A and B are shown apart, each in its own frame.
Chain A
Amino acid sequence: MSMDIAVVGVGLHPFGRFPGVSAIEMGAIAIRRALADAGAEWRDVQAAFAGSYEVDNPDAVVALMGLTGIPFTNVYNGCATAASSLTMAANSIRLGDADLAIAIGMDKHLPGAFSADPRLYACPSWYGEVGQFVTTKFFGMKINKYMHDHGISHSTLAKVASKGYRNGVLNPNAFRRKPLSEEEILASPMLNYPLTQYMFCSPDEGAAAVVLCRADQAHRYTDTPVYLRATTVRTRRLGAFEVHSPWLPIEETVGPTVDASRAAYEMAGIGPNDVDVIQLQDTDAGAEIIHLAENGFCADGEQEQLVADGALEIGGSLPTNTDGGLIANGEPIGASGLRQVHEVVLQLRGQCGDRQVPGNPKVGYTQLYGAPGTAGVSILSV
């Protein structure tokens, strides 16, 4: 790979509900925090990439930051939006267009499941009229089939969700900060079998920003650079079992997460056994379980024992979603993946306090997945 890229600053506006605060304002707060973390000024930033679902032109944040005339690209790529803005910011440095670049994400969603006109997803109108254009239903079907094929129990789903809320208690930036027991999670209303209400994340509000630079200049900004070893985005291939599919072919293949993951490991020269802290897309508790295998951290079905043994806990062998993941943070789409990078960077610097993974973690991993079948992965190391 050409030029090494360093993360020298991360910043977050907390995720949750913030009446009266606009997405752009949250974006500006995240940017200021990331720049302060890097010891840099907005006028030092030479290229910016900002992701949002709700804001057409997140580059309008320059009105709050400074009208410096830099190339500023707005990005939207579904739930993998942040992986795309991060990839583009890194590439702008690799191409020599910028020495210091920033990836930004901001969103402010209404409560409730995401919805849209199915025709915008190349689906027929009737697919929405009859009530099948529903993302949560896909996640229900996928984990239900996975549980049947690989022997995962309902109790394991609840344990994974409970771990998410428990980690959220330790994260002052999280949306959900109240612990929920396995029993409470199982007893909450069934939304899409086998997934209950408390097994799902919620769309919410928040912002995040990540400052990147050429690795050979990182010392100008920080004594503790974290290197972006790989960042990839992939879309579904024919035969993958994907959301918003009125039909599927008989032939079957792996999902885009597997493709993005394999490409990222190859790019980084790092394998799943080297990873010390993991952030996965947990739109629901089932997704976290499936994504553990899709990203190479275990074989299909091993999650049942791993969860029972506490492997996914902060002190476990596969610490996963240490900041509470989407379950506790919710999902402001444009910012979600940069929140994952924020957490990994803090973990690798040893700055996570009560939720710090022990043993000086050196390699972190993030993964996003969403409609209509797009995945993004990044690998970071000290």
Chain B
Amino acid sequence: MARVPVAEGIFTWPSDDPQLVGSRCTDCGIVTFPSQQSCPRCASMSMAEHLLARRGRLWAFTTQSFPPPSPPYSGPSGKEFVPFGVGYVELGDVKVETHLTVADPDALQHGMEMELVVVPFRTDDDGNEVVTFAFRPC
């Protein structure tokens, strides 16, 4: 069984220390995630690949306590569904929206330190383990 990323190009994979792949405007310096071809601040078309920090602070969070509408959601549903945390983690030059490994709101606090991990998300039709990125308290 192979471990395949949920999408190509959003985090470095395979890697022992995966990093999210964003982009940085070479004209105004804004950082986006995922990478995009034009700048949302200055409209420049000059965007360069930019790897994001692996650690940051939790800026906002909630829980996803019911299975999201499918499609587009492709993860476990029905009785297989497991609630997950969602939040924004501030990584110094950008805030990234992400799954959180913790779904208990009492175990999460605004401002707490978080680090990037790659976690199992679902099994695809070919039996591969699809992995995605998440942040966990550290």
- A: residues with CB less than 8 A from B are 112-118, 124-126, 128-134, 137, 140-142, 144-145, 148, 189-195, 238, 241, 245-250
- B: residues with CB less than 8 A from A are 6-7, 10, 22, 30-34, 40-41, 59-69, 71-75, 84, 86-88, 90, 92-97, 99, 105, 110, 121, 132
Chain B residues whose C-beta falls within 8 Å of the C-beta of A191 in the assembled complex: 65-66
A134 touches B64 (CB 8 A): yes
Residue of B nearest to A196 (CB): B65
B69 touches A113 (CB 8 A): yes
A142 touches B94 (CB 8 A): no
Q: How far is the CB of A131 from chain B (nearest CB, A)?
A: 4
Known: A133-B73, A140-B63, A247-B94. 8 other contacts (CB 8 A): A124-B10, A124-B34, A134-B64, A137-B62, A141-B87, A241-B60, A247-B96, A249-B31
Residue of B nearest to A197 (CB): B66
Q: How far is the CB of A188 from chain B (nearest CB, A)?
A: 12
B68 touches A126 (CB 8 A): no
Residue of A nearest to B42 (CB): A238
A250 touches B86 (CB 8 A): no
Chain A residues whose C-beta falls within 8 Å of the C-beta of B41 in the assembled complex: 238, 249
Of B60, B92, B99, which is in contact with the most chain A CB atoms at under 10 Å from its CB? B60
Q: How far is the CB of A115 from chain B (nearest CB, A)?
A: 4
A148 touches B110 (CB 8 A): yes
Of the A-B pairs whose beta carbons lie under 8 Å apart in the complex, a sample of 9, sorted by A's number, is: A124-B7, A126-B6, A128-B73, A130-B132, A133-B73, A193-B62, A247-B94, A247-B95, A250-B94
Known: A125-B7, A249-B94. A144 touches B61 (CB 8 A): yes
Known: A189-B65, A193-B105. A141 touches B60 (CB 8 A): yes
Chain B residues whose C-beta falls within 8 Å of the C-beta of A142 in the assembled complex: 60
Of A245, A246, A247, which is in contact with the most chain B CB atoms at under 10 Å from its CB? A247
Known: A126-B7, A141-B61, A141-B87. A194 touches B105 (CB 8 A): yes
Chain B residues whose C-beta falls within 8 Å of the C-beta of A145 in the assembled complex: 59-61, 110
| A124–B37 CA distance with the chains assembled, in angstroms | 13
